[in-house]
Amino acid sequence: MTTQPQPDHLSRAFDQAKPDTPSDALRQLDQLADAVEHLAHANACDVESDAEPSVHDASRPAFNELRLLEQVIDNLSVHTENDELIADAMSEIAALVGSDSVWVVEADADSALGAVHVMGELIIGDSELPRDVTRLCENLYDRRRENIEKLEFPLPDGGLRVAMPLRVKQTWFGAIVFNTPPSPAIDLGVRDRLLSSILRFLAISIENRHFVDSLTDMIVETVCGFSLAIESRDAYTGGHVMRVTAYALALGQKLGLSEDEQAVLRLGGLLHDIGKVAIPDKILNKTDRLTDAERDVMQAHPAVGHAILGRIPHLDRSNEIVRSHHERWDGTGYPDRLAGSDIPFLARILAITDSFDAMTSDRPYRKCLSFDAAMAEIKKCAGTQFDPDLAEVFLSLTDQELAATEARMQRWIHSRNHRADLNLGQLVAMKKPSI
């Protein structure tokens, strides 16, 4: 006869289902699944054998508890978007405790009250919190060092408003608040154990989002730092990188590029001349035309920039722009002599805006062209230097449209929130697929 797991084994399995890292969460979910499978097999054996009730009958509540937890975590594990996960977690908790009102209140850097999620509402962060919900969150936050598991506030109908923390170890991420009916339909000990496990899972998801936000901040700030380094090397093209990027975004928006593609284009534009950091000053800032040998050195900058950025995987697609923005539609460009549609699409966009800004900027050896004269040159070179279809769309842009995009780019690059236009999906989109 199969030996049945003892109730204390189940308690240990349940107590261990408190993940502190994403890898812990996955491993411990596997452990829970194994425990549930073992118990299910034991139950099946008892049904077939008509055996006398054994010690495992006492473990049925724990078995049911594990089954319920497994089902809830299974439902929540399908989400990749943090806000969707929080919304479904609130619904699961409402069903578990019999509540008609649930709030998730994320903490910000120095306060209990950050982003607010309300069950059943799509808009995040704009909801008015009831005063007692605010008070519970603030009280829980103020006493976070005491490791309090919950705070309660009595409601007029005899129920309770309960606040529980969202935290991983000693890191605080916020609180969840819900109402309970006067007569709960579930044992309070079971309820709180299930809630504790669900909230740890939810806190880990929020922690992961914070990690992604930090990674995004690091990448964007690094790119902005690189672009400023490029500008500081070239005394005669101040603002070139920013303008080229702004004009490329104007063309991209006219083409109907997705937000993901625009994010790749923005960072590729800011980085397109990064290879110039390796060009000697005497060549980079030369006041007359370059010799053939000097031109060869200058034309190495796309390949040099591509090599510099090659070890940053999340810039893979932007790095294609860096390498190929001097390729020509007729195949006579550099460094790879690509032609036509073999040139990466976003690099073809930047090739137009890079040339346009070069023509409309003063150089030591010539004065800039007017807007109309530069546009005429773009039209003349369509089909030889530039993708003719993209050039046609660029020619439809007005001076005012380009100036407005340039002003927006100026505000963005000097802001303190560069990540505002870059989310997780866009960050992932910057990494080239492995197949």
Q: Active-site residues: which are they?
A: 276
User: Is residue 349 packed enough to be buried (19+ CB in 10 Å), middle (13-18) or exposed (0-12)?
Assistant: buried
3-class secondary-structure state, position 407 = helix
Pairing of strands 171-180, 116-118: unpaired
Question: How open is the CA angle 432-318-397, to the nearest 5 degrees?
Answer: 125
Instruction: In whole angstroms, give the CA distance from residue 287 to residue 424.
Output: 44
The string of DSSP codes covering 75-134 is HHTT--SHHHHHHHHHHHHHHHHT-S-EEEEE-BTTBS---EEETT----S-PPPPHHHH
Instruction: In whole angstroms, give the CA distance from residue 226 to residue 50.
Output: 74
Which helix (H) or strand (E) element contains residue 401?
Answer: helix 399-413
**Strands of 171-180's sheet, edge to edge?**
116-118, 102-106, 171-180, 160-168, 151-154
Tokens of residue 196, six digits: 């504790």
For residues 324 and 302, the answer to whether their CB atoms sit within 8 Å is: yes
Length of the chain: 435
3-class secondary-structure state, position 160 = strand
